[in-house]
Amino acid sequence: MPAPLIPVNSLVRHIAPLKTVLSADAASVIDSGYYVLGPGVAEFERAFAAYCGTAECIGVANGTDALELALKSVGVGVGDRVAVAANAAMYGTTAILACGAIPVFVDVDSVDALLDVALLAETLGTGAIKAAIVTHLYGRLARFDGIVELCRSRGVAIVEDCAQAHGARSSGRVAGSFGDVAAFSFYPTKNLGALGDGGAIVTSNAEVGQRARQLRQYGWTAKYTNTHVGGRNSRLDEIQARMLLTMLPLLDGWNARRRDIANRYSNEIRNTSIAVPASASEEYVAHLYVAHCERRDALRTHLEGLGVQTDIHYPVPDHRQPCHRGAYDHVDLPVTEKLATTALTLPCFPELTDEEVERVIDACNRF
């Protein structure tokens, strides 16, 4: 009999130990009569801001709304140019386009697929750039030591995309606290995931925070007074907020387990045809464990034959998406395009057993 399939992720395993307490959270909200922007949302916003080391947190409906409203909160509007990498499944690009702004694609480095700081500097020299979206891809912090000074010196707002990096840390600072404003997703598969959609914006700039809070509710500055262009109905609901508040204290432990698994892979996969990311400390929360292989399809078939499920994050760069119909054919991002052909995601989630981790390593080494 073949060994049981090792999944890339398992939300059933993740949530099962919390079923009783999360059910109680839902019941308490039902009994309370507060369902939207109630006391649970306010309590979670305070707790998550404290966790991120920011002054404010504004709960919204999902991570893509968080990115769009974060951009608008720093003044991005129609016709503005926004620097962004093209290797994170169109989320940043979608938010830019929703603002009526123009994405200016920047290539990434070949080591960990993060925004290339030198190329960002070149891009900022090509004309006015209103903001830069800096994505902590796969759960690894971007290199803010170079980016902050670069953007500050040119008056470019920094919007952190933290959808994959809840709790990543460096020098005592947490993802979401490095830029002018940051966006989080609480999609169920995230390191801190809801049981549905959810998102948040965090910032320590009072003006940016106030604008984001107004934009999430129609652009109101007073009830039924729509002052800000670009407002929308984007609110974190009370049940999700209560559940997230319950799970937040568990996040660091989950991240530590993810990182332990990732570091085992990086240290013990010794197949020269498989390039693995460097082992890391708290700057990496292993949202996804992405290896690279020139013969990706063959490796994927091999692993699935041994009961190891895989995925591809991400197969189509933003500037090559069919929805653009050739609008960016002139854009040349050689590293981004190359990595899209070699990336392969291995199972990495807190509930993986040590035996399953060993099976994944053995399967890779047998390729």
Over range 314-331, report the average pLDDT: 95
Mean pLDDT, the chain, rounded, equals 97
Over range 304-326, report the average pLDDT: 97
Q: What pLDDT was estimated at residue 350?
A: 98
Give the HSE-up count for residue 19: Cα atoms under 13 Å, Cβ half-sphere. 5
**What is the pTM (predicted TM-score) of this model?**
0.97
12-249 classified as CATH 3.30.70.360: no
Over range 163-169, report the average pLDDT: 98
Checking if the pLDDT of 188 tops 80, the result is yes
Burial class (CB in 10 A: 0-12, 13-18, 19+), 125: exposed
Checking if the pLDDT of 17 tops 70, the result is yes
Over range 149-162, report the average pLDDT: 96
Of 238, 218, 225, 223, residue with least CA distance to 72: 218
CA distances from 48 to 20, 54, 166, 198, 281 (A): 23, 9, 10, 13, 22
pLDDT band at 134 (very low <50, low <70, confident <90, very high): very high
Q: What pLDDT was estimated at residue 3?
A: 80
pLDDT band at 145 (very low <50, low <70, confident <90, very high): confident
112 alpha carbon, distance to own chain's centre: 15
Checking if the pLDDT of 1 tops 70, the result is no
Checking if the pLDDT of 332 tops 90, the result is yes
> What tens digit of pLDDT does each residue of 249-276 get?
999 999 999 999 999 999 999 999 999 9
CA distances from 330 to 24, 34, 232 (A): 54, 51, 34
Residues above pLDDT 70, as percent of the chain: 100
> What tens digit of pLDDT does each residue of 98-107 get?
999 999 999 9
CATH code 3.40.640.10 region(s) in the chain: 12-249
Strands (E), the chain: 56-60, 81-85, 102-106, 131-135, 157-161, 169-170, 173-174, 181-185, 199-203, 220-222, 225-226, 289-292, 343-346
pLDDT band at 189 (very low <50, low <70, confident <90, very high): very high
Q: Tell me the CATH class for 250-365.
A: alpha beta
CATH code 3.90.1150.10 region(s) in the chain: 250-365
